[in-house]
């Protein structure tokens, strides 16, 4: 049997990949890696060329083989894929942990750094330093039984985190709300109503059927005049995978959450940290829990009074106490009144194909590359597109898939991920390839998908991650693109890119009315820009609530579901302004920190926002398309990937350390 995962191609052969290919391919690669590693060490390989390069090579091959599996599990999930994916998780975790706990390898890397250090490049030294740090974080020097325990914990965590994700996806997919009275749809945007009608038809039902995907949820929260409809979706959303709501206890993540926290804590203490938060910070730009807490508190002091004021004004506007499912609705109405602006009304100005074209033009102008669509590539879904980034000399720089529409069996949210990492190890090279995934409303029968401006901002954000991955010039996979970048600096290129979606120079490039082709009129443009800081206080405290909650549950001894909820309640008491009902089980679907990479790292969004706003202020000072500033951003930050310290890179670009003022100014929170 030929296995498409084991064939070598520039791009994955998605259409040929079946669930039964997955485990055999991953087992075979890991076995080969183990044999090769042992052979290298037995032969006494202890130089950069003889040891580090082959290990980079084997890790690269494994990660590009695994990447399409993880991707498909996220975007075209099925029972078979899920089972195969889950069967591989412990294998991969065991391999990575064995590698990181390998004492002979650790000693060899230390020797290489010592002996060859002076003749190596800064990037090569950084790779070795990162690796040595990761050896220590995996407990390389521990006695055998404690090493085994560490490994077992890593494997259990991988399994539990995957289960956490599955529960959220299943709970989200299982829910729907059937509406038969047209009056209950009042206020909803036509495309949302149309989608709900089509969904009902598909199930041979009268009326309209609302599922719980992000476009539906957000539209109902912001626009549905019929309060019970809002309440119904709100309840379903905040009780997913919990002991509450219509599927109470069915896919409950409560026990998983406490298990995950307990295991993470044990893991951290095994390798000498007081708690998981400090362990997590060992690889980040921020140096300690105290520093992060101080940073968040500083933002809280600036934003909470503003948020309170905004909330009071909103309450007065609504003319009554606000329930949690009222906030977005009245906020939208007030915004409409204050700025004569409706996010929904602007959709026709942002047809997806035009936004994409404009976004590409911005990147092309900034970084001197070209972005070209390619046909005839292999894919897992007909909605997927593929593009290449081309250098001025016509050589290829990288490529990316875009998969932008919401559908069932696809994880919610938006993200960028690595398909292939850049590799340039002697003759054998690979160009970086990315996935860009969003959950926008699919196109209608006769018109393209129309975006709200905040969806446009999301697209810019993910493309910023993509550029970081694809424009890298680093040759070694483990520090190329986003690899090896401190997690709290990873959101710098993405949040930086968001700023362009808010510029009067850029809006005419990305807007064209779907029927008339005219760009966003000047008046609308001014209203939109004026609305940027609308409810910035409330948005900020919401992010602070997530970040402080995450930091606390990972630094304090939290062991039960009750303590998790109590901690959240305390954090909300301190920073939140919106009142949450008792049935709210937000943590149960907080994938960022329980199953994604943001554990004790949610603060990274705000941390990197400071970097991004400060970096962007350099563009504001000299013109947002200033060639020199863009060049410096490209060479100091984007091309460097994880090959250098994030702070050093920032200082090289900005000429000084980051300052918080540009962010406060951007949010309208400056004193």
Are the CB atoms for 668 and 533 separated by under 8 Å?
Answer: yes
Q: How far is the CB of 468 from Zn ion (least distance, A)?
A: 10
Catalytic annotation present for 462: yes
Distance of closest approach, residue 379 Cβ to Zn ion, in angstroms:
24
Of the candidates 56, 343, 455, 462, the residue annotated as catalytic is 462
**CB-closest chain residue to Zn ion:** 494
Name 313's Cβ contacts closer than 8 Å, sequence gap at least 6: 334
Name the percent of the chain in helix, strand, coil, to the closest 5.
60, 10, 30
Q: How far is the CB of 605 from Zn ion (least distance, A)?
A: 8
CA–CA gap between residue 474 and residue 640 (Å, rounded) = 6
Shortest Cβ 171–Zn ion spacing (Å): 24
Strands (E) located in 391-542: 396-405, 415-420, 423-425, 428-430, 433-440
Show the 3-state SS of 196-243. Answer: HHHHHHHCCCCCEEEECCHHHHHHHHHHCCCHHHHHHHHHHHHCCCCC
Task: Tell which residue, 578, 571, 530, 577, has the closest CA to residue 552.
Answer: 571
Which residues neighbour 499 within 8 Å (Cβ) at sequence distance 6 or greater?
612, 613, 616, 619, 666
Q: By C-beta, is 494 or 555 nearer to Zn ion?
A: 494
Element (H, E) at 386: strand 385-390
Task: Pick the closest to residue 160 from 76, 276, 255 (CA basis).
Answer: 255
Distance CA 153, CA 628 (A): 49
Q: How far is the CB of 461 from Zn ion (least distance, A)?
A: 6
Least distance to Zn ion, CB of residue 415, Å: 7
**Three-state secondary structure string covering 325-346:** CCHHHHHHHHHHHHHCCCHHHH
**Entry field: residues in the chain:** 671
Tell the smallest beta-carbon distance from residue 637 to Zn ion (Å): 15
* Residue whose CB is less far from Zn ion, 254 or 494: 494
Nearer of residues 494 and 595 to Zn ion, judged by Cβ: 494
Closer to Zn ion by CB, 67 or 494: give it: 494
- CA 574 to chain centroid, in Å, comes to 27
CB 237 within 8 A of CB 430: no
Our CB check for Zn ion shows the closer of 341 and 416 to be: 416
Please report how close the Cβ of residue 494 comes to Zn ion at its closest, in angstroms. Answer: 4
Q: Using an 8 Å Cβ cutoff, are 28 and 6 in contact? A: yes
Residue 403: strand pairing partners: 437
* Contact call for residues 210 and 219 (beta carbons, < 8 A): no
Reported as type and span, the H/E element at residue 67 is: helix 53-75
520 near 346, Cβ under 8 Å? yes
| Interatomic CA distance for residues 524 and 536, integer angstroms | 20
Residue 198 CB neighbour total at 10 angstroms: 14
Shortest CA distance to 293 belongs to which of 651, 606, 664, 665? 606
Contacts of 418 (CB under 8 A, 6+ apart): 63, 67, 432, 433, 434, 435, 469, 481, 482, 483
CB of 414 to Zn ion, least distance (A): 8
Give the residue from 344, 514, 532, 352 showing the smallest Cα distance to 440. 352
Which residue, 13 or 542, has its beta carbon nearer to Zn ion?
Answer: 542
Residue among 244 and 494 whose Cβ is closer to Zn ion:
494
The residue (of 584 and 604) whose beta carbon lies closer to Zn ion is 604
State in angstroms the smallest separation of the CB of 462 from Zn ion.
Answer: 7
We find the least distance from the C-beta atom of residue 95 to Zn ion, in angstroms, to be 27
Residues forming contacts to Zn ion in the complex (CB under 5 A) are: 494
Structure letter (DSSP) for residue 450: B
Contact residues for 202 (Cβ-Cβ < 8 A; gap 6+): none
DSSP letters spanning 96-134: HHHHHT-HHHHHHHHHHHHHHGGGS-HHHHHHHHHHHHH
To Zn ion, the closest distance from the beta carbon of 440 in angstroms equals 16
Tell me whether residue 54 or residue 596 sits nearer to Zn ion (CB atom).
596
| C-alpha distances out from residue 70 to 8, 203, 382, 483, Å | 18, 30, 19, 17
Q: Could you give the residue numbers annotated as active site?
A: 462
């Amino acid at each position: 049997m030929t296995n498409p995962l084991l064939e070598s191609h520039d791009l994955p052969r998605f259409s040929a990949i079946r669930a039964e290919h997955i485990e055999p391919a991953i087992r075979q690669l890991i076995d080969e890696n183990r044999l090769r590693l042992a052979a290298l060490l037995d032969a006494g390989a202890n130089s950069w060329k003889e040891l580090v390069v082959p290990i980079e090579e084997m890790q690269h091959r494994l990660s590009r083989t695994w990447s399409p599996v993880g991707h498909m599990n996220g975007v075209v999930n099925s029972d078979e894929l899920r089972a195969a994916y889950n069967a591989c998780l412990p294998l991969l975790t065991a391999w990575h942990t064995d590698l990181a706990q390998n004492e002979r390898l650790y000693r060899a890397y230390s020797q290489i750094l010592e002996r060859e250090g002076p003749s190596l490049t800064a990037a090569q030294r950084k790779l070795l330093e990162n690796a040595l740090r990761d050896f220590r974080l995996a407990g390389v020097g521990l006695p055998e039984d404690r090493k085994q325990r560490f490994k077992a914990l890593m494997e259990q965590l991988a399994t539990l985190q995957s289960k956490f994700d599955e529960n959220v996806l299943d709970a989200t997919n299982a829910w729907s709300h059937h509406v038969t009275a047209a009056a209950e749809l009042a206020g909803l945007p036509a495309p949302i109503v149309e989608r709900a009608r089509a969904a009902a038809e598909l199930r041979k039902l009268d009326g309209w059927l609302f599922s719980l995907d992000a476009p539906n949820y957000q539209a109902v929260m912001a626009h549905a005049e019929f309060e019970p409809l809002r309440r119904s979706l709100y309840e379903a959303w905040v009780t997913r995978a919990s002991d509450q709501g219509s599927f109470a206890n069915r896919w409950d993540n409560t026990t998983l959450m406490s298990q995950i926290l307990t295991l993470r804590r044990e893991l951290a203490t095994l390798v000498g940290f007081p708690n998981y938060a400090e362990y997590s910070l060992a690889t980040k730009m921020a140096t300690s829990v105290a520093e992060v807490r101080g940073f968040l508190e500083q933002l809280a002091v600036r934003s909470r009074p503003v948020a309170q004021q905004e909330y009071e004004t909103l309450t007065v506007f609504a003319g009554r106490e606000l329930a949690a499912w009222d906030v977005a609705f009245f906020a939208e109405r007030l915004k409409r009144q204050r700025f004569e602006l409706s996010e929904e009304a602007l959709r026709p100005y942002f047809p997806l194909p035009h936004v994409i074209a404009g976004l590409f033009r911005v990147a092309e102008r900034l970084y001197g590359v070209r972005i070209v669509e390619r046909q005839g590539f292999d894919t897992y879904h007909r909605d997927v597109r593929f593009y290449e980034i081309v250098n001025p000399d016509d050589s290829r720089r990288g490529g990316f898939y875009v998969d932008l529409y919401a559908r069932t069996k696809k994880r919610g949210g938006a993200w960028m991920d690595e398909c292939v990492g850049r590799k340039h190890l002697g003759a054998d090279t690979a160009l970086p390839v990315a996935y860009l995934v969003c959950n926008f409303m699919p196109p209608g029968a006769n018109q393209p998908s129309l975006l709200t401006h905040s969806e446009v901002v999301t697209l810019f954000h993910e493309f910023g991650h993509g550029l970081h991955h694809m424009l890298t010039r680093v040759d070694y996979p483990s520090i190329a693109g986003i690899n090896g970048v401190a997690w709290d600096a990873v959101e710098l290129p993405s949040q930086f890119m968001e700023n362009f979606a808010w510029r009067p120079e850029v809006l005419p490039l990305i807007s064209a009315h779907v029927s008339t082709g005219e760009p966003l009129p000047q008046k609308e443009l001014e209203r939109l820009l004026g609305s940027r800081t609308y409810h910035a206080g409330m948005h900020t405290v919401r992010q602070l609530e997530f970040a402080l909650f995450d930091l606390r549950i990972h630094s304090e001894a939290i062991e039960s579901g009750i303590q998790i909820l109590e901690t959240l309640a305390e954090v909300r008491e301190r920073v939140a302004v919106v009142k949450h009902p008792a049935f709210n089980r937000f943590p149960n679907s907080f994938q960022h920190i329980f199953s994604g990479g943001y554990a004790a790292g949610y603060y990274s969004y705000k941390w990197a926002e400071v970097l991004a706003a400060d970096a962007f202020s350099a563009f504001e000072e000299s013109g947002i398309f200033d060639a020199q500033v863009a060049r410096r951003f490209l060479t100091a930050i984007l091309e460097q990937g994880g090959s250098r310290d994030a702070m050093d890179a920032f200082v090289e670009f900005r000429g000084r350390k980051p300052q918080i003022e540009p962010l406060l100014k951007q949010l309208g929170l400056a004193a």
